[in-house]
Amino acid sequence: MATSKKFDIRLIEENATWTAQITRRVTARKTIVSKAQDGFTSEAEAQAWADEEFKTFVKVSQERNKRR
């Protein structure tokens, strides 16, 4: 699983479908979902989507921070 100090990937199974979430650590106790998608039929599909979106999400975040 892709991970960084501030961002992480979480996979959740509900009934027969999987949900992939990119979470952001706000404080030591609080974590919010920055991006999510559900309806995956397998854990592998959800993991593949999350890994690809994670790379894009972190890249955009780093570019945004450089401009400031």
**Residue 3: φ, ψ to 5°:** -155, 155
In a domain, 38, yes or no: yes
How many domains does one find in the chain?
1
Nearest-5° angle of CA 5, CA 59, CA 18?
A: 70
**Residue 45 sits in which domain range?**
7-62
Task: Find the mean pLDDT for residues 57-63.
Answer: 87
Per-residue pLDDT band for 64 (boundaries 50, 70, 90) equals confident
In a domain, 1, yes or no: no
In a domain, 2, yes or no: no
Per-residue pLDDT band for 6 (boundaries 50, 70, 90) equals confident
pLDDT higher for 28 or 19? Answer: 19
In a domain, 68, yes or no: no
In a domain, 33, yes or no: yes
Task: Find the mean pLDDT for residues 26-42.
Answer: 93
In a domain, 45, yes or no: yes
Q: Tell me the whole-structure pTM to 2 decimals.
A: 0.79
